Amino acid sequence: MKRSTIIKSLIYKTVERFSVKGLGFIISILLARLLTPEAFGQIAIVNVFVNLSQSIIEGGLSTALVQNKNTDDRDYSTVFYICMAMSVVMTTIVFFAAPFIADYYSSPEILMPLRVYAFSVFFSSYDSILTAKIQREMRFKQMLICSLIATILSGSLAVALAFSGAGIWTLVVYYFSHTVISSTAMMIAVRWVPRLTFSVKRAKELYSFGWKMLAASMMCSLYYDLRSLIIGKRFSTEDLGYYDRGQQFPFTVNFALDASVQLVLFPVLAPAPANVASAKAIFRRTVSLGNMLVAPAMVGLAAVAEPLIRLLLTDKWLPSVPFMQIICIAQVPGIITSSNLVAIKSLGRSDIYMKLEFIRRALMLFVLALTVLLFDSVIAMAYSYALSAWIDVFIAAIPNKKLANYGIADQMKDSWKIFLAALIMGAVVFAMNYAPMTLLLKLCVQILSGVIVYIIMCWLLKIESFRYVLNMLKGLKNREEAI
C-alpha cells in the first residue's frame, strides 16, 4: 500500500474521530439541558443490555474480518448471516426479559424503550460488517462522511423531540436513528449486499480468532456496565444520570487526546519490534508527550468542573461535579496505561495482551465488589474506579519491562515532573472558583491562567518533553524563515 494512501487514511480517521465525537458532545450538552437526569439514568440501563447483546452477536467476528489476511466476499456474507441469526435470538431474549428488567429496577418507563431499542442490533450488526470492509480497504473518507451525516440527522431529530418533551424516547430515537442512518449511508457508500453463500469452515476459522476478542470485550463491558447496573439498582436512575454525565466530560476529552497519540504510536512502533533500543525510545517519547497533554487537561478539567457544568448543563446537573472531578483524576495516568497496551500489541505479543486483559479486569471487578460490600455511596463507586485506574497503570506496564526495557519505574521517573506541574496548575485554577466573577469570565480566566501556569512550571521543572516541543517549534519556525 502506498505511503500517501496510508497518510490520507490516518488523516481522515483522525478527523472522523474528532469531528464526530465533538459534534456528538455538543448534541449531548443540548440534550442534557433539555432532559432530566433520570432520563439519562434510564437510557444508561437500557444501553447496558443492548450493548451486551451487540457484543454477543458480533462475537469478535467484525474484528476477525479486519485482521484476517484472506478475507473475501464469502466471509462477509457468512458473518452477515451469523449476525442476523444471533440478532433474532438476542432481540427475542431482550424483548421477553424487558418486563423483568423494568420491574427489577422499579422503572416501568424503560419497558417499551428497551423493547424498541433492542431491534437496533440488526442495523448495528450490519453496520459493523460494513465498517470492517471500509477499514480493510482504508476508505476512511467514506466513513467520515457517513458518520457526520448520521450524527447531524439523528442529533437534529433528538433535539426536536427533546423540545417537545419526549423524555427517554428522545434518547432512544437518537441512538436508534443514528444506527439506522449510519448503516444505510454505509451501505450506499460501500455498495455491498450479502450473497447467498455460507461457509461453515470459514465461520470456524473466523471464530477461532474472534472468540478471544469477544472474551476481552465482554470482560471490559462487564466491568463498565456492571457499575451502571449497580448504581441504577442500589440507588436510583437519577443518581445514575448524574454519574453518567459526570464521566462524559473526562471520557470525551481523554478519548480525543489519547486517540491522537495512539494513532501515531502503533504504526510507528509496529515495524521495529526487533530493535529494543529503538522501540524503547519511541515508547518513552510517546508516554512523555502524551502525559504532557493528558495530565494538565484532566487536572484542569477537574478544577473547572463546577463553573463548566453550571455554564453548559445548568445548575440542575451540579450533583455531577464530584463525579466529574474524581473521574478526571482517574484519567490522569490513562495515557500511560493505553500506551503500554498498544506497545504490547504492536510488539507482536497478542498472547500477553489477552492474558493481561483478564488480569486487569478481574482485579477491577474485585475492587468494585469490595466497594459495594463495604460502602453505600455512589461517590464511593467513583473513588473505586479511580483506585482501579491507578492500580491498572502498574499492571499494564509489567510486560514492557522485558519487552521494551521500559518498566513502570522508568515511566514514572519520566512522568512525575509533569504530574507535579499539572497539580500546581490545578491548585491555582481551582482557587479561582472563589473569585467573584460571572461564569463565562471566570472560566475564560481559569483556562488562560492554567495554560500560563503550566507552561511556567514545565520551564521551571525543566521537563524534557516540554523542551522537545519547544525545539520542534523553533525548528519549524526556522524552516519557514528560510523559505
Is 83 or 58 the better-scoring residue by pLDDT?
Answer: 83
Would you tell me how many other CB atoms lie within 10 Å of the CB of residue 326?
Answer: 22
Asked whether the beta carbons of 398 and 352 are under 8 A apart, the reply is no
Reported as half-sphere exposure (CB side, CA atoms, 13 A), residue 243 has a value of 27
For residue 152, the model assigns a pLDDT of 93
Task: Tell me the pLDDT tens digit for each residue of 101-160.
Answer: 999 988 899 999 999 999 999 998 888 888 888 877 767 777 788 888 999 999 999 999
Whether residue 309 is predicted with pLDDT greater than 50 in this model: the reply is: yes
Task: Tell me the pLDDT tens digit for each residue of 62-78.
Answer: 767 766 667 788 888 88
Confidence of residue 470 (pLDDT cuts 50, 70, 90): confident
Task: Tell me the pLDDT tens digit for each residue of 412-463.
Answer: 988 899 999 999 999 999 999 998 888 899 999 999 999 999 999 999 998 8
Confidence of residue 213 (pLDDT cuts 50, 70, 90): low
Contacts of 365-371 with CB under 8 Å at 24 or more apart are 365/222, 365/223, 365/226, 367/391, 368/223, 368/226, 368/227, 368/230
Whether residue 267 is predicted with pLDDT greater than 50 in this model: the reply is: no
Confidence of residue 270 (pLDDT cuts 50, 70, 90): very low
Residue 281 and residue 343: Cα distance in Å, rounded? 12
Non-local CB neighbours of 3 within 8 Å, separated by 6+ positions: none
Whether residue 166 is predicted with pLDDT greater than 70 in this model: the reply is: yes
Confidence of residue 354 (pLDDT cuts 50, 70, 90): confident
Q: Which of 415, 54, 458 lies closest to 225, judged by CA? A: 54
Taking CA atoms, 50 is separated from 174, 305, 366, in Å, by: 14, 31, 25
Copy the grid coordinates of residue 86: 444471533
Task: Tell me the pLDDT tens digit for each residue of 181-206.
Answer: 999 998 888 888 888 888 888 778 77
For residue 184, the model assigns a pLDDT of 92
pTM assigned to the model: 0.82
Q: What does the angle CA 79 – CA 83 – CA 87 come to, to the nearest 5 degrees?
A: 175
Confidence of residue 383 (pLDDT cuts 50, 70, 90): very high
Q: Write down the mean pLDDT value for the chain.
A: 84
Q: Region 216-235: what's the mean pLDDT?
A: 80
Q: Which of 156-170, 241-255, 320-334 has the lowest mean pLDDT?
A: 241-255
For residue 153, the model assigns a pLDDT of 95
Task: Tell me the pLDDT tens digit for each residue of 20-38.
Answer: 778 888 898 999 999 999 9
For residue 460, the model assigns a pLDDT of 93
Q: Is 137 exposed, middle or buried (0-12, 13-18, 19+ CB in 10 A)?
A: exposed
For residue 1, the model assigns a pLDDT of 47
